[in-house]
Structures are given as C-alpha cells and as structure tokens.
Amino acid sequence: MSLCLKSFTLICHSIKNPQLTCVRNRYHAEKIAKGPLLRRYGYKDKILQSGTLPHVDGPPISMPVYRPKNAWCEKRALFGQNDYIDILGNGELHPTRILYNVQSWLRGVQGNEYQILLRKRKVFNKGIVPIARPSKWKDLNKRIKYLYRFLNRKTKTGMSSD
C-alpha cells in the first residue's frame, strides 16, 4: 500500500518537475554482495558442549618435555644404606635412629591420626608452639577432642580412623 503511494508521489513529482531524474545510490546486488546482516555481535556459538574440548582458542598446549630421572644420583644410588646396621654393626644402633630425613618426633612412630596427634601434643607441649602458634595449637586440641568423642562413642573398638 505504501509502495503504491511512493510510486504515485514519484510520478506526480516527475510530472511537476520533468527535468528531474531519479538516481539510485543503492543497488540490490551490492547488498547481496555485502553478505547477510551480522546479528548477535560477539556471540560465540559453543558447538562442543561437553567431553574433552580441544584448545582451539589461544596457544596450543604441548606435552611437557620428558626429563628422565637420574637413577644414579647420590640419594637413589645409596638408597637403603645402613638399614641393617643393627645386624651388621655392633647391635646398639637401631635403624630408626638413623632416619635423619624424618622429623625427630616421628621416627619409628606408627599409628592412626588420633595416636599421632596425641604424640604431637605430648612432644610440642614443652616447647614454644603453644605460645607462638596459638591458633594451630587450639586446632590440634580441638581435633583431638573431636576424634576422642568420635572414636569412643561412634565407632567400635579397634577401628582405625584412617
């Protein structure tokens, strides 16, 4: 309807002003050549929604370079040395007294979490830890109290807490 009106007004215009010619500045072919109108700018359509996703955006992450461990470094070459010192030595020294890489209060200790925490409290009670690390000390005591109640009231005797 509006198209009819437009053409009618153009015809009327040309009749009134016969020297005017209509000039097109836009051509349909150019519009088609430009392509479809870009809608939803910046939107990334996620085609792959789940599973292992490929690294298509950003730099590719390659496998790390293989660095074989040195099987004959000093630590590994002499691993286990002195473990039989009570058999092959004079019998006074026990292998637990040679575990220099283990914290001194943990040498020769075996037990579940509750037993180890009790030992930790017994050992560190005498030092600076309760004064220098009050929050940690409080957490230790809280954990011991909780484990006492849990193991003695909620579990059968002989169950480990690990």
Partner 1 sequence: MIFWVHLLNVTGSSSSLSTTAIMPRVLAYPPKYKRVQQAWVENLDTVEEQKLGLIDLHPDVFGAQPRIDIIHENIEWQTKYRQVRYDHTKTRAEVRGGGRKPWPQKGTGRARHGSIRSPLWRGGGLSHGPRSPKTYFYMLPFYTRVHGLISCLSVKLAQDDLHIVNSLEIPTDDPKYIEDLVDSRTWGPSVLLVDEMDIMPRNITAATDSILHYNLMPVYGLNVYSMLKHDTLVLTLAAVNRIEEKLLYQLNRPDICNVVKKYELNQNG
Task: Considering only residues 70 through 99, tell me which ones interact with partner 1, judged by CB under 8 A.
Answer: 70, 72-74, 77-89, 91-97, 99
Q: By C-beta, is 52 or 90 nearer to partner 1?
A: 90
Interface mask toward partner 1 for 102-141; x: CB under 8 A: xx--x-xxxx-x--xx--x------------------x--
Total interface residues for partner 1 by CB under 8 A: 42
CA separation for the pair 97, 17 (Å, rounded):
115
Q: Under a CB-based contact definition with an 8 Å cutoff, are residues 96 and 107 in contact?
A: yes
**Of 156, 153, 133, residue with least CA distance to 145:** 153
Q: Would you state the torsion angle of the CA atoms of residues 42, 45, 50, 53, taken in this order, to the nearest 10 degrees?
A: -70
- Kind and range of the H or E element at 145? helix 134-153
Q: By C-beta, is 56 or 87 nearer to partner 1?
A: 87
Instruction: By CB under 8 A, name the binding residues for partner 1.
Output: 70, 72-74, 77-89, 91-97, 99, 101-103, 106, 108-111, 113, 116-117, 120, 139, 142-143, 146, 162
